[in-house]
A = this chain, B = another copy of it.
């Protein structure tokens, strides 16, 4: 692979970014979980109120990897940049694209004045955990993620809104 470039995503990259999102969902055996469309990504990433920042790894004119992040807010530290997804297409792994994309996000966090970069990892993914810890990150093993989905939001409000 020649001429690898890491750069901020452009609107015209978003269809290929969506293909990477779908590739990962298929690998995780949840292909139908991706409700997001290319139009959603265009509107949410490049509209009046951008909801995320995306970086892409491009080689031979094709998007081979992407990192998508956005601001969070810590009540202890202030601005945090959260890395939501970092995906490298299967055929392009092992060539440093993931590492280069991670570096792009951390550089962006510094430029934004963030006091922390955060992301999530599967707790059985020891190679990933070793990699992150080797690069100075801390894995908080005693915190779990809680999610109330769209249907759960409706049910919750029906039951508890007027209590």
Number of copies of this kind of chain in the complex? 2
- Interfacial chain B residues near A137, Cβ < 8 Å: 146-148, 152
A10 within 8 A of partner (CB):
no
Residue on B with the closest CB to A18? B75
A26 within 8 A of partner (CB):
no
How far is B138's CA from A57's CA once the two chains are assembled, in angstroms? Answer: 34
User: Given A148-B106, A148-B136, are A117 and B153 also a contact pair (CB < 8 Å)?
Assistant: yes
- Interfacial chain B residues near A76, Cβ < 8 Å: 21, 25, 30, 33-36
Contact with B along A41-63 (1 / 0, CB 8 A): 00010000001100000000000
How far is B84's CA from A115's CA once the two chains are assembled, in angstroms? Answer: 16
A145 within 8 A of partner (CB):
yes
